[in-house]
Structure 1
Amino acid sequence: MTASPLDRVIRSHRAADAVLTLTDADGPIAGREVRLEQTRHKFLFGCTGFEFEALANGDSKDPDRDALLAERWEGLFNFATLPFYWGRYEPERGNPNTERTLNTARWFADRGHPVKGHPLAWHTVTADWLLDLDNAEIAAAQVDRIRREVEGFAGVIDMWDVINEVVIMPIFDKYDNGITRLCRDIGRIPMVRMVFDAARESNPSAVLLLNDFDMSSAYECLIEGVLEAGIRIDVLGLQSHMHQGYWGEEKTLGILDRFSRYGLPIHFTETTIVSGDIMPPEIVDLNDHQVDEWPSTPEGEQRQADEIERHYKTLLSHPSVEAMTYWGMSDGGWLGAPGGFLRVDGSIKPSYERLHALVNDEWGTDETVRTDDQGRVSFNGFLGDYRVTCGDAAADFKLDAPGEAELTLDLS
């Protein structure tokens, strides 16, 4: 099968031409069958891990169902986002949900999946008890909260959405909250400096994101102001909840080109593509779309599968993108939307099968090949972790950068 131009672009950024020389105590392993298996992608194929708290803490009401969900999650994803919404994480001051969240994070980490915390500062779903404080006290509580989480989870969670949706934060008017009060008082850039400084000091090796849904020039102005102020941002987070329809390649690539000019890695942090009716275009705030039912439909599911494939391929074709997090494994999540890879009853949708084939087959490696008379095998593989097996012997290796790679592996 001949690769398309898009597929060739993707492989130019995401894959390497590898030559392995395999040896043992007797020298080159010549003329032998060996298995090449990719065990992990370097690219972060992410999804929320909210659904696994009960399973990770041993109190699931339906452990068989949750175990099957976990198996299907791992069939697609290698990177989890866990919730730290302040109002739910610490509804009563001084009583945070630390133990259960830490157990959940370790559950993912023990399976080799890095975890991101989301978010440390946000005006929505924030703690109601902040309204009892003055602005100086709110700032102190926010800084203390960041230090507690970033220090306490270090080594298990080393990536954070530090602050979420700053563009709208000081002008947010849906309801009163302490974080909007504070941001309105001190301004966006001082707010960003305060929270990033607290996170950076608490874990200097952590990867810290600035995250927003606003893809307009307002977000660009914020980024430019933050960088000019000398605030170090590790990654730019771009949200893409497509409840009102798939963006398409032109819009997505245009956004990527605009935000990649800052020279920072880009994570698509929150993506949904629905398999039911599209939300009306006149809705400005997606939260305002409230319906009794939002079912997945057969025609919508086929459309979703096609758009999922197009979207992932578009993102992987751009060298600045390092991660893509899908916002919910199953239907019925945020706003009740049919945006998942599984239906409400847990059955697999076409989008699951399509992404599974991309991640594990088209972009994965699991094949048996024969070494030549010098013990060499050649292949083209996506960047990530690999294992080569010959008989009872095996060795692990990595492909870290696109281009060409030559490795000698001893299977003694």
Structure 2
Amino acid sequence: MIRKSRDETEIIRKGVLEITVIDKEGRLIKNAVVKVDQSKHEFWFGTSVSTFRLSKHDKAVRDRYLGLLKDNFNSAVHENALKWHSTEKEEGKISYKDVDTILSWCEENNISMRGHCIFWEVEKVVQPWVKNLGREELKQAIIRRATGLTERYRGRISEYDVNNEMMHGSFYKDRLGEEIWKVMFDTAKKGDPDAVLYVNDYDIMTNGFMEEEYVKHIRHLTDMGASVGGIGIQGHFNTAVDAFQVERALNILSKLNLPIKITEFDIDVEDEQVKAEGLEVLYRICFAHPEVKGILMWGFWEGAHWRPRAALFKKDFSPTLSAKMYRKLVFDEWWTKAAGKTDQNGKYSCRAFYGDHQITVTLPDGKTIVREVTMSSKEKNKNLRFTIDN
């Protein structure tokens, strides 16, 4: 499995980065030293963030938490702050304070954000005031919620889970008919036409038949005209990760030709070795699958985690075996660190992971030039020309 995933990762996640160094007269410069250091992956390696639990701790603890967040992840999602029952506990009393706090910090630290979730289909999490609305009042409240949220964060939150866990709940469908699902997607798309709208559900990689049901569910939504743009798979494990089942689920869902994200990953077992091995299995398979665009954990620190023993870092911030495995994969095996010299044609090339890189060119006379570049999977390969002013 590891050999296969490594080979596929090399093909799917990397391209050729070619650098040509010339002077201002267009003469090629050979023997210039070129260093390529990655700064961010295109692939989303993310986590959920909980303002509520974090607010219980003092500044020193918050700073350590945020330091781990910044050092380990390039993307994030609100754990609870964005949910309707958090932003509007009472009708008409809307507060996005916690949402804004998390989003602003992530923007300042170059961490991409997704939105979870606009609606949640499971009745037990629906606010009492929403349950008490009549049919037309409920529909209008849904439209106001989707419009207000997506317009407010247009251009800042790039994707949303529109209606969480539609395969495990039916509150809005029971009240208004399943046509309301299309209304939710249509309204969110109108509020932010550029946002990618996801479905999101669980048991997909842990149950032997749910992936096929998920495909039927998504096709039904698209047949209704809902603008489904991505597939979210939650990934909460209570036992060792089954590599066959994970790969099978991804292959079945990839028939839909939609981007896939693992949106809520964790492994809640006592055995640290099982957790570390499970993390490696899931990350290797997903990173080697062409339709998977990211993996987001559902928390990373024991002091702010809904399933504390699943956390990467203990309450004293010490790393678990899973944390060490995660960093080994992301920042060692899957991180571009290359160096060499330009040849007689002034060229240096290497294979690099898609994402952001810092390129440093040092000339034979000691002069140094530094550039930040982004290498996208859409362009596959990238040719850069460094022109040196003498």
Indicate the larger mover: 112-121 or 80-89.
80-89
**Pair 327,410 (structure 1): closer, same or farther in 2 beyond 3 Å:** farther
Deviations 1:77-113 (A, max 9, x none): 1111013122222212222231332132021012211
- Name the CA distance, whole Å, in 2 between partners of 1:240 and 1:43: 17
Tell me by how many angstroms 1:72 deviates.
Answer: 1.8
Contact 1:315/1:321 (<8 A) preserved: yes
Indicate the larger mover: 327-336 or 377-386.
327-336
Contact 1:209/1:234 (<8 A) preserved: yes
**Pair 53,338 (structure 1): closer, same or farther in 2 beyond 3 Å:** closer
- Name the CA distance, whole Å, in 1 between partners of 2:71 and 2:327: 7
Tell me which residue corresponds to 2:213: 218
- TM-score, normalised with respect to structure 2: 0.88
- Name the CA distance, whole Å, in 2 between partners of 1:92 and 1:249: 44
- Name the CA distance, whole Å, in 2 between partners of 1:382 and 1:32: 22
Tell me if 1:185 matches 2:180. Answer: no
Tell me if 1:38 matches 2:38. Answer: yes
- Name the CA distance, whole Å, in 2 between partners of 1:257 and 1:386: 31
Tell me if 1:319 matches 2:290. Answer: yes
Tell me by how many angstroms 1:404 deviates.
Answer: 4.2
**Pair 52,109 (structure 1): closer, same or farther in 2 beyond 3 Å:** farther
- TM-score, normalised with respect to structure 1: 0.84
**Pair 51,374 (structure 1): closer, same or farther in 2 beyond 3 Å:** farther
Tell me by how many angstroms 1:229 deviates.
Answer: 1.9
Deviations 1:112-168 (A, max 9, x none): 111111110003533221122112212211210111111111122121111101112
- Name the CA distance, whole Å, in 1 between partners of 2:129 and 2:31: 70
**Residues 1-400 of structure 1 mapped to structure 2, 5 A cutoff:** 4-25=3-24, 27-51=27-51, 61-82=57-78, 83=80, 84-122=82-120, 123=122, 124-170=124-170, 180=171, 182-188=172-178, 190-215=179-204, 216=210, 217-243=212-238, 245-276=239-270, 300-331=271-302, 335-391=306-362, 392-400=368-376
Deviations 1:21-80 (A, max 9, x none): 1334364342122321111101011110224896xxxx8852232222222223321111
What amino acid does structure 1 have at the position aligned with 2:262? F
Contact 1:53/1:104 (<8 A) preserved: no
Deviations 1:232-266 (A, max 9, x none): 211011111002x1332110011011111011111
What amino acid does structure 1 have at the position aligned with 2:71? G
Q: Structure 2: any 5+ residue segments left out of the alignment?
A: 205-209, 363-367
Indicate the larger mover: 160-169 or 330-339.
330-339
Contact 2:202/2:235 (<8 A) preserved: yes
- Name the CA distance, whole Å, in 1 between partners of 2:344 and 2:359: 18
Contact 2:266/2:311 (<8 A) preserved: yes
**Pair 70,275 (structure 1): closer, same or farther in 2 beyond 3 Å:** farther
Deviations 1:346-393 (A, max 9, x none): 221111111112111111123432222332212111111112012542
1:35 match: secondary structure? strand
- Name the CA distance, whole Å, in 2 between partners of 1:410 and 1:73: 37
Contact 1:363/1:381 (<8 A) preserved: no
1:385 match: secondary structure? strand
- Name the CA distance, whole Å, in 1 between partners of 2:53 and 2:19: 41
Contact 1:86/1:125 (<8 A) preserved: no
- Name the CA distance, whole Å, in 2 between partners of 1:28 and 1:395: 19
Contact 2:229/2:259 (<8 A) preserved: yes
User: Identity, % of aligned pairs?
Assistant: 24
**Pair 61,253 (structure 1): closer, same or farther in 2 beyond 3 Å:** closer
Deviations 1:271-328 (A, max 9, x none): 111341xxxxxxxxxxxxxxxxxxxxxxx11221121111100101111101111111
Indicate the larger mover: 66-75 or 79-88.
66-75
What amino acid does structure 2 have at the position aligned with 1:149? L
Tell me which residue corresponds to 2:365: none
Figure out how many residues of one structure are paired with residues of the other and give that number: 371
What amino acid does structure 1 have at the position aligned with 2:240? Y
**Pair 34,323 (structure 1): closer, same or farther in 2 beyond 3 Å:** same
Contact 1:158/1:205 (<8 A) preserved: yes
Give the alignment's Cα RMSD to 1 decimal: 2.2
- Name the CA distance, whole Å, in 2 between partners of 1:333 and 1:65: 11
Tell me which residue corresponds to 1:282: none
Tell me by how many angstroms 1:337 deviates.
Answer: 4.0
- Name the CA distance, whole Å, in 2 between partners of 1:411 and 1:158: 38
Contact 2:358/2:371 (<8 A) preserved: yes
- Name the CA distance, whole Å, in 1 between partners of 2:308 and 2:59: 25
Contact 2:305/2:311 (<8 A) preserved: no
Tell me which residue corresponds to 1:286: none
Tell me if 1:408 matches 2:379. Answer: no
1:37 match: secondary structure? strand
- Name the CA distance, whole Å, in 2 between partners of 1:306 and 1:264: 28
- Name the CA distance, whole Å, in 2 between partners of 1:29 and 1:356: 37
